[in-house]
């Protein structure tokens, strides 16, 4: 599994809209072939932290390429007007059995 953990900045004035859009985005992304899991938590600072599990790195690259599933859904849901991508960390899961425990 290939994991990507991302932090999104959320304007407090747009927080409810971002949460609603985030829910739609997560539901859609869970239906995309190559995605195994999508989880999100609200951070103490009011921003959002999202972890997506992809089947492998090539699936991630295909989904995230320009015009791919993520960009298309993000544009349709006006994601970047509601939140600001801050950073991401990504890599293969080191110990899959531990990750699933």
Can you give the CATH number for the domain in which 65 is found?
3.30.70.100
**Cα torsion 32, 36, 41, 43: sign:** negative
Q: How far apart are CA 88 and CA 7, in angstroms?
A: 6
Mean pLDDT score, 3-32 = 95
Q: How far apart are CA 94 and CA 81, in angstroms?
A: 35
At 100 the pLDDT is 52
Count of domains observed in the chain: 1
Mean pLDDT score, 61-73 = 97
Question: Rounded to two decimals, what is the model's pTM?
Answer: 0.87
Q: Is the pLDDT of residue 99 over 80?
A: no
Boundaries of domain holding 42: 2-100
């Amino acid at each position: 599994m290939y994991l990507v953990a991302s932090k999104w900045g959320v304007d407090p004035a747009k927080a409810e809209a971002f949460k609603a859009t985030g829910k739609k985005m997560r539901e859609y992304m869970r239906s995309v072939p190559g995605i195994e899991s999508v989880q999100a938590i609200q951070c103490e600072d009011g921003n959002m932290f999202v972890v997506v599990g992809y089947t492998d790195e090539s699936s991630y690259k295909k989904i995230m390429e320009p015009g791919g599933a993520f960009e298309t859904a993000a544009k349709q849901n006006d994601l970047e007007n509601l939140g600001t991508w801050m950073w991401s960390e990504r890599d293969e899961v080191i110990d899959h059995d531990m990750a699933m425990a």
